[in-house]
Structure 1
């Protein structure tokens, strides 16, 4: 018996329950094996392939609705098209102003006759101003990191593209954070709105960005405005959820104090609740920034430009060096913005502890730096030649990366090809055939049964309906290909991530190294993984599998380490006192009590695997990702949205089932809140 079980004794089992507990899963496995091995003629044809006559023409309905919306729908004084294009013009104006300051300046005319009226902020003034802002919110360490990161962009020739990306991300983050805050406050006030918004937020988080790029193009036209709207939709949900949790976590006494002081509802919200929840709200702002950066490459497909376009262009010409340098520039921006947002979240507490003299000295230094940056900007306007970073000072590692991949291909091609072939023959192809051989009614029944066992009737109906939707819209086979590749990638990610998480959990030095690696893996753009892997293994499912594992393994490591660290020390000491070996401490105490956190890590791993799976459509997969990509290339909005909804439903089914299983484990181990 494990120490956890001894600490939280379960009720005496009834006779026959243990046998039933193992008999039911075993029977399901046997029935599944029999169904897969049956010949096609053994079951009705509709059990193997959902009949065409039963399918709902949802893509055609959606496409017809979008056509009506843009060509016929009217709001009285103006049409829907007028409204959306007006919004696009307003967003373009805001984005133009941001790009003018950071990247392009104010230019009159076009082509050879163009003249610069006002230059953008030069690189040295930007570094000085940003370092001063970082010093104001995070001190010397953050200021030094900001200066080093921005200097990296200049030295490696990524400054112009990075400033375009920064302008887009800043505008999208401000709009996303403000919109998320307002929607979250409305959900706190009206519970009905929260219940209505919850499935929409789930859909926005799990649907691939590819799926709603085309609707954005139709509504807002080709250009940066469409990319910005798509980015905001993708990045909005975390801010809404964080706002709801943060505002409800504010002590009731603060609200009661406002009521007793005669404050109006608006004053209580904006002068008491929001300031009190500000540190938690900044976590949501941080997530908005990170997700906005995550979309920059995909958004570049519809006119966003910047570093995203550089990475996409490098992928198209298989330029590994150029792609990696542009991708690392995005990573540098992500780290800088992440640290700056964290510094803003901690600023209030730090200022409260500072004495007046220290705070005054810091403000004086910051003002002096900002004035100096403004002076340098003016100087660059007078002498434009000093505003450009000298070409002779620039560095590039692109040739070395390309040479490295070429060397590996020349010397290890046979080994790499053998690995690829072995994985395809022994793992990928058998799993693919197994998934495609499953009758769709049986899969729907299994998912529904799992929902009923884990969460009751409501969860069973929800998961069963979402699974049935895949067949009703005619995408069952394509969905099974998605589940197959995602499932294999998730299993491999867990096989790698759980041992690493366990090993690093209680070893601070090892964890610092592991954390640095997984932070890099999470901040690198997803497209970056494709370039070297395609050059080493060519296109296909194995290439997609490696890219998915690299992108999705981080949560498995992080959540496992977090769960192992959370195991109470008293239980470990009790196990040591009873003579448990190191292996017994791990298998009977640490892992059982960390299982709920590991399951949550599994949940996040699945979400990241699905998001990466859509991008791997560019390297030849034939799943729902390819379906959304083909719909985008053919301007078939209905087909793309339905495929995106199928991806979202797969993710939501996994999320609901795993969350229910994690909650059951928490109750069983006595760790439930």
Structure 2
């Protein structure tokens, strides 16, 4: 490529020579520090002194015991208050479960009286197809029908309906709660400043960390799992609400003021309806995140498909786990497509053809009436409500046989791969991470923050790193950084080149997109079952699972960045005689660098969330700390370990985001 195109790609002043030498000098200094013999550095630099540690975990555990055993409001205790809240929240959940999975009645156990069964599969199929046709047309109706039929044919109906009930109630409460909090943030800046760090913590702290507080406060059962799900899934709705309401045109606000609307009328009759299509995107995110934690929530009584996947993982039953996991994926796809169609429908103008509207209403009412009549028939003859056993299918035995065949024929090869990776990659990286003095790591974080975002960023990130050290979990945190770092590097080396190459090849991109869609919708626990059966437990198994789960953003963002290169630059490069390869490597890829960095940022976030789940396969990091705290009912230990994971995620997020913003400015893509 000639020099004529280069200035259009990156116009910036060269950095001073000393600035260029900063990072190589720090790298050399880091290697020298790690290579020093034991005892060469003062003990307080290599291991955070116990006298300086803050017993936050003990304080939290003591506070929780006092809160649940002593604290009261006079007439009732705090425990009574939380149990009352749990009882109230259980009402919609129990009602939804009664309709979808358990049957309508009263009482429990031997005293249970059922007056009507749960909606049978054929009634739900008819109602679901009719609703899908009314919202999204024939194509969506076929998809919904095929998905629901799959759940019945493969024997996953009961678990899917229990999961659907929990997800529906969690999504409604999460969406409404997120909408109200988002509106409060828009109205009062002080609320936004107070809520922003809580949103960051809720999105970066592992779900394991706050399962135990929910369990202590609300008791064991589906309500605690539902509340944990809401806490995890609500932040995107809050952020989308703030963006959507603030994006409403000023003309609408002025119209409301001119017509004499009160603040409440302006909000609920003008701003919210105008922002409804964008708000539906937030609702969709709440649904997807709720489905993402159904397996984790099953640890404290959520039940459904999540419990079936978890039970299959415990007994290493790949067939049963995969079928239940695919059922969760099918449920996620159906809810996602329905929510997207509903969002599009809310953004379209109403159909002016009165006859067509009347026909659709008649069709919908007729379908619901037919579903209700069949439900009544199932109540009278319960045997017809069950899907015939003779017509059920299962692929579970074949998956188990496949893994056994691979182990029988390739065990030596797989074991050699695992040993080679551990000895030549994982073990050296672990030794390097554990040998780093905590003082030096905090200093590196401060320097990186200062160079990328100024003194405020550097000081804030150094404070977070120092906070990790004060908890006494520094060594465990470095194990988290080591394994997450290796996984992110591997995912980046795979994902970025694949995204860059696939972006300009539509057929290849369609194939790649199908694979990464499957990886993102398949529950993360499902990855672990075949990997554990092939490679046994350990860091290498965790590495493979993390890479599979986190590689999708690296691919997507790289492909998006490459495909969004300005056509004028592509045309200029073509006129200069550049080949397709030169345009890709010297024009598209450099311009895509900010997007690639954002993709790496998302890869880090997913890697950290998956790292906590891999505690089930024997890792010894912060994920194991949170998981063992859940098993031991040590709420302080679990929350502190979760906070450390959140701090690591925030440090990585701020550094990579600052690097992306700086790269955009350097490339002339931002002011």
1:36 to 34, 37, 40: 34
Tell me: CA distance 1:503–1:327, structure 2 relative to 1, closer, same or farther (3 Å). Answer: same
Kindly indicate whether the alpha-carbon contact (under 8 Å) linking 1:596 and 1:665 is maintained by their aligned counterparts in 2. yes
| 3-state DSSP of counterpart to 2:592 | helix
Q: Which residue of 1 aligns with 2:531?
A: 533
Are residue 68 (structure 1) and residue 57 (structure 2) matched? no
Kindly indicate whether the alpha-carbon contact (under 8 Å) linking 1:424 and 1:542 is maintained by their aligned counterparts in 2. yes
2:391 to 379, 390, 393: 393
Q: Distance in 1 between matches of 2:349 and 2:448?
A: 51
Please list the CA deviations of residues 275-310 of structure 1 after superposition, one character each: whole Å capped at 9, or x if unmatched: 111111011001100110011001101000000000
Q: Which residue of 1 aligns with 2:565?
A: 567
Q: Distance in 2 between matches of 1:253 and 1:615?
A: 48
Q: Distance in 1 between matches of 2:5 and 2:207?
A: 43
Q: Which residue of 1 aligns with 2:141?
A: 143
1:508 to 488, 506, 509: 506
Number of positions where the alignment pairs a residue of Structure 1 with one of Structure 2: 670
Please list the CA deviations of residues 579-624 of structure 1 after superposition, one character each: whole Å capped at 9, or x if unmatched: 2233322222111111111111111100100000000000000000
Shift of 1:564: 0.8
Kindly indicate whether the alpha-carbon contact (under 8 Å) linking 1:4 and 1:593 is maintained by their aligned counterparts in 2. no
| 3-state DSSP of counterpart to 1:117 | strand
Q: Which residue of 1 aligns with 2:118?
A: 120
Tell me: CA distance 1:135–1:564, structure 2 relative to 1, closer, same or farther (3 Å). Answer: same
Residue correspondence of structure 1 range 627-666 to structure 2 within 5 A: 627-666=625-664
1:87 to 81, 85, 93: 85
1:247 to 245, 248, 265: 245
Q: Which residue of 2 aligns with 1:431?
A: 429
Question: Mean alpha-carbon deviation: is it higher for 628-637 or for 19-28?
Answer: 19-28
Residue correspondence of structure 1 range 189-204 to structure 2 within 5 A: 189-204=187-202
Q: Which residue of 1 aligns with 2:223?
A: 225
Q: Which residue of 1 aligns with 2:482?
A: 484
Q: Which residue of 2 aligns with 1:330?
A: 328
Tell me: CA distance 1:418–1:453, structure 2 relative to 1, closer, same or farther (3 Å). Answer: same
2:366 to 359, 365, 368: 368
Q: Which residue of 2 aligns with 1:6?
A: 7
Q: Distance in 1 between matches of 2:301 and 2:187?
A: 38
For structure 1, the 5+ residue unaligned runs are none
Residue correspondence of structure 1 range 295-306 to structure 2 within 5 A: 295-306=293-304
Q: Distance in 2 between matches of 1:282 and 1:501?
A: 29
Q: Distance in 1 between matches of 2:636 and 2:242?
A: 33
Are residue 59 (structure 1) and residue 60 (structure 2) matched? no
| 3-state DSSP of counterpart to 1:641 | helix
Kindly indicate whether the alpha-carbon contact (under 8 Å) linking 2:93 and 2:165 is maintained by their aligned counterparts in 1. yes
Q: Distance in 2 between matches of 1:24 and 1:2?
A: 29
For structure 2, the 5+ residue unaligned runs are none
| 3-state DSSP of counterpart to 2:39 | helix
Shift of 1:74: 2.3
Please list the CA deviations of residues 185-218 of structure 1 after superposition, one character each: whole Å capped at 9, or x if unmatched: 0000001110111110000000000000110011
Q: Which residue of 2 aligns with 1:163?
A: 161
Residue correspondence of structure 1 range 184-333 to structure 2 within 5 A: 184-333=182-331
Q: Distance in 2 between matches of 1:620 and 1:275?
A: 50
RMSD value over aligned CA atoms?
1.4
Please list the CA deviations of residues 310-347 of structure 1 after superposition, one character each: whole Å capped at 9, or x if unmatched: 00000010000000000000000000000011011000
Are residue 592 (structure 1) and residue 594 (structure 2) matched? no
Q: Distance in 2 between matches of 1:281 and 1:577?
A: 44
Kindly indicate whether the alpha-carbon contact (under 8 Å) linking 1:3 and 1:588 is maintained by their aligned counterparts in 2. no
Tell me: CA distance 1:123–1:183, structure 2 relative to 1, closer, same or farther (3 Å). Answer: same
Please list the CA deviations of residues 451-503 of structure 1 after superposition, one character each: whole Å capped at 9, or x if unmatched: 01111111111110111111110011000000000000001111111121112
| 3-state DSSP of counterpart to 2:114 | strand
| 3-state DSSP of counterpart to 2:350 | helix
Shift of 1:22: 2.3
Shift of 1:178: 0.2
Kindly indicate whether the alpha-carbon contact (under 8 Å) linking 1:489 and 1:545 is maintained by their aligned counterparts in 2. yes
Shift of 1:9: 6.2
TM-score by length of 2: 0.98
Q: Distance in 2 between matches of 1:105 and 1:59?
A: 43
Tell me: CA distance 1:27–1:109, structure 2 relative to 1, closer, same or farther (3 Å). Answer: closer
Q: Distance in 1 between matches of 2:480 and 2:293?
A: 21
Q: Distance in 1 between matches of 2:588 and 2:411?
A: 42
Q: Which residue of 1 aligns with 2:408?
A: 410
Please list the CA deviations of residues 123-143 of structure 1 after superposition, one character each: whole Å capped at 9, or x if unmatched: 000011111111111111111
Shift of 1:509: 2.3
Q: Which residue of 1 aligns with 2:171?
A: 173
2:356 to 331, 343, 358: 358
Kindly indicate whether the alpha-carbon contact (under 8 Å) linking 1:2 and 1:588 is maintained by their aligned counterparts in 2. no
Kindly indicate whether the alpha-carbon contact (under 8 Å) linking 2:5 and 2:572 is maintained by their aligned counterparts in 1. no
Shift of 1:10: 3.3
Shift of 1:667: 1.4
| 3-state DSSP of counterpart to 1:286 | helix
Please list the CA deviations of residues 18-46 of structure 1 after superposition, one character each: whole Å capped at 9, or x if unmatched: 42232111111110111010112111001
Q: Distance in 2 between matches of 1:3 and 1:417?
A: 53
Tell me: CA distance 1:545–1:247, structure 2 relative to 1, closer, same or farther (3 Å). Answer: same
Residue correspondence of structure 1 range 540-555 to structure 2 within 5 A: 540-555=538-553
Shift of 1:510: 2.1
